[in-house]
Structure 1
Amino acid sequence: MTGSSHHDATASLALAVNLDQCRAGFGALLTRADLPATAAAEVAKRYAEPHRAYHDTAHVGLLWLRHLMHGGDAGDRGLALAILFHDAIYDPTARDNEARSAALLGRVVPGDTGWAQQAILATADHLAYAGVDCRIARLLDLDLTPLAEAPEVFARNSRMLRREYAAVSEPAWRAGRRVMLQRFEAAEPLFRTRLGAIYETPARANLAAEVAALSDAA
């Protein structure tokens, strides 16, 4: 990693430590998305739902801040909409959250939101996307950057995710979590864009550590 990349990695990973800063990023994202007042209120209300511990305003705010930090286009409203709405509907027990989130975007935001809806649909399975749209690839990579957090932040995020799945038994949670993380481990590479130069190595370290811990507890 070059000196510049090391600085970018240190600064970017520091963002996730401060959840208030990430929530401020949500405000900046809302501003860039330039939504009608009713749509802005709707999406803010959804991200404030009490069952959300991880998939909240801090999560999407962090992704927008990282997009900007890594030289992303601050004027890319389509990507802003995709980040903002990609978890707008979140039910841990459902399998159609992304489809419903994309539909919500199309319903509450006027104008052509087709690209952002397609990008949101791609987040249903980050590893299955086989397209060549570099902006969709960037969205997918941004959404995976939390896999690369500092170990203590990664552990915090895992605890938050567990809270969202409170209705799932501990054995079922561990088994499902292990399978998902092992899928990410098997991806070569995990990141599709130049963000991989910063996030690939720490993400793989976190994945290996948690998979090992889950396997030991099985």
Structure 2
Amino acid sequence: MTLVGFEAWAALAGDSATSRTEWAAVVAAWSQPHRRYHDLTHLAAVLGLVGELGAAAADPAAVRLAAWYHDVVYDPRRGDNEQVSAQRARAGLRGLVPEARVEEVVRLVLLTAGHDPEPGDANGAVLCDADLAVLAGPPEAYAGYASAVREEYGHLTDEEFTAGRIAVLEHLLALPALYRLPAVAAAWTPRARANLSAELALLRSRAASGA
């Protein structure tokens, strides 16, 4: 059973014709050719980490479903991807899982817009920590992630992308905590902050030089 296969999906949303249709649509969305980082590989990585960290969640199934939908709509030209992804989750899951779980999935997907769950939000902590795990990778892996994100924003000039990316990095570095789960925060936070700070310094240097 692969992390993004139907069996994994059916464990959460059941095995019905409607469920199969929705799974296929979700996988197709994550497979769109314009995606370079926010693709099936990223989805599988987040699902895998949610599985590892899920014991800390209050509703692990809701967190896994939110992982499936957290970037199901991803258009670098728009600024409301999380909101539209949340709407897509509500429409796609209705009738497949209990309504209360649908609404929790919607809440969690919206949370990934800022990655700043409230204290005590165990579900939000698991999803956000899994989604931001890439920031704590080895420098070469982080560089690959940053390069893939730049490709997704190929419609922007270097100046436009640099300004927007600097804002994203500053937001992440200003969060009260990058990671909320004690099981990962101690190990991941220093590496993530080092990667983010290095990229930010590079982009600020480029912006200052006009390169």
TM-score range, shorter chain: 0.7 to 0.9
Match of 2:189 in 1: 200
1:24-173 matched pairs, under 5 angstroms: 24-27=2-5, 29-34=8-13, 36-70=19-53, 72=55, 76-109=60-93, 110=95, 111=97, 112=99, 113-127=102-116, 129-130=117-118, 132-173=120-161
Q: Structure 1's 57 and 32: CA in aligned 2 closer, same or farther, altered over 3 A?
A: farther
RMSD of aligned alpha carbons = 2.0
Cα deviation digits, residues 14-65 of structure 1 (max 9, x gap): xxxxxxxxxx433375354335011001101100101101001111110111
Give the aligned residue type for 2:32: E
Q: CA deviation at 1:71?
A: 5.8
Match of 1:19 in 2: none
Preserved CA contact (<8 Å) 2:63 2:126: no
Give the aligned residue type for 1:85: Y
Instruction: Confirm or deny that 1:215 pairs with 2:204.
Output: yes
Preserved CA contact (<8 Å) 1:148 1:200: yes
CA–CA separation in structure 1 for the residues paired with 2:175 and 2:21: 40
Q: CA deviation at 1:131?
A: 5.8
Give the aligned residue type for 2:169: L
CA–CA separation in structure 2 for the residues paired with 1:31 and 1:202: 36
CA–CA separation in structure 2 for the residues paired with 1:170 and 1:202: 26
In the alignment of these two chains, the number of paired residues is 194
Cα deviation digits, residues 71-123 of structure 1 (max 9, x gap): 63798221111000010011112122111111111112223211111111111
The percent identity for this pair of structures is 31
Give the aligned residue type for 1:123: T
CA–CA separation in structure 1 for the residues paired with 2:8 and 2:20: 14
Q: CA deviation at 1:163?
A: 0.8
Q: CA deviation at 1:137?
A: 1.8
Structure with the greater relative contact order (CA < 8 A, sep ≥ 6): 1 or 2? 1
Report SS of the residue matched to 1:25: coil
CA–CA separation in structure 2 for the residues paired with 1:79 and 1:29: 13
Between stretches 174-183 and 37-46, larger displacement belongs to 174-183
Q: Give unpaired runs (5+ residues) of structure 2.
A: none
Preserved CA contact (<8 Å) 2:50 2:63: no
Q: Structure 1's 45 and 97: CA in aligned 2 closer, same or farther, altered over 3 A?
A: same
CA–CA separation in structure 1 for the residues paired with 2:4 and 2:198: 30
Report SS of the residue matched to 1:72: helix
Report SS of the residue matched to 1:41: helix
CA–CA separation in structure 1 for the residues paired with 2:173 and 2:196: 7
